[in-house]
Chain A
């Protein structure tokens, strides 16, 4: 199975990178962009075919390494 782990800075944590990207989008003429938050996506290939187990494993990986939960939140999506 595949697991997609999306990691983003928590609300309230300053994201200067997102801000800079937002300014660049505005400069390109995308005036409607009012805010950008930059994050990361990890695409994990997992040996298991059990979606519940895959989610549990991916969440543990996110907590232990992929995200720093002091500053980041994460979301796990499972795909066949």
Chain B
């Protein structure tokens, strides 16, 4: 699998994604800078976390206008796989590649803590090694992770099975108490209509090795390796 990791000024999680992908696929991803205009030849493009362009205007708003995003749009339109984590998710919504927006956390705090995610769908490139309803631990670290979309959009996402992950407790109960950032319907991650673009706020790449304190997030990268191995 050939993966590209896009780096904007202020991106800071590209190495974590690279480690997770290389461990699962055996191939080191290529780091691509924000001025790049060609993403042909890649199977997967990752927009990692960080504070692209200092989060000026709105988180992800400036990065969404970068030259590379035209290439990411074209790549996604060709059926390419695009993963956006944290700031990457914000960039995908700002670029219109995923619906909705990420608002300031409801309690205004920057949240840096573990959360549990319930897997809502397993027939995708990102989740095929989990069982539906599985729960995994993932660290979150964001100030703007409060997923918002209007009710019609939320109903459409649910109807089309495009909610990827929800904030849950350790055994999978989706409750307001564990919805730390105030997201609509506990949504932590969503898919595009072809299920190939995924955005999520927490960081599965932070738990892919026992030395990191767990391997809870590893199935996502193993899933990608699985599907794209061919």
Q: Which residues of A contact B (CB under 8 A)?
A: 13-14, 16-17, 20, 65-66, 68, 70-71
Q: Which residues of B contact A (CB under 8 A)?
A: 57-58, 61, 65, 93-94, 99-101, 103-108, 146, 148-149, 182
- How many A-B residue pairs have C-beta atoms within 8 angstroms? Tell me: 33
Query: Please, how many angstroms separate the alpha-carbon atoms of A25 and B61 in the complex?
Result: 30
CB distance from B190 to the nearest CB of A (A): 13
What are 14 residue pairs bridging A and B, where the CB atoms are less than 8 Å apart in the complex?
A13-B103, A13-B148, A16-B104, A16-B107, A16-B108, A17-B104, A17-B108, A20-B108, A65-B61, A68-B58, A68-B101, A70-B148, A70-B149, A71-B101
CB distance from B61 to the nearest CB of A (A): 7
Which one of B57, B94, B182 contacts A66 once the chains associate, using CB atoms below 8 Å? B57
Contacts of A66 in B (CB 8 A): 57
CB distance from A13 to the nearest CB of B (A): 6
Contacts of B104 in A (CB 8 A): 16-17
Q: Is the pair A70, B108 in contact by a Cβ cutoff of 8 Å?
A: no
CB closest residue in chain B, given A70: B101
CB closest residue in chain A, given B146: A14
CB closest residue in chain A, given B151: A12
Contacts of A70 in B (CB 8 A): 93, 99-101, 148-149
Q: A20-B108, A68-B94 known; A14 and B61 CB under 8 Å?
A: no
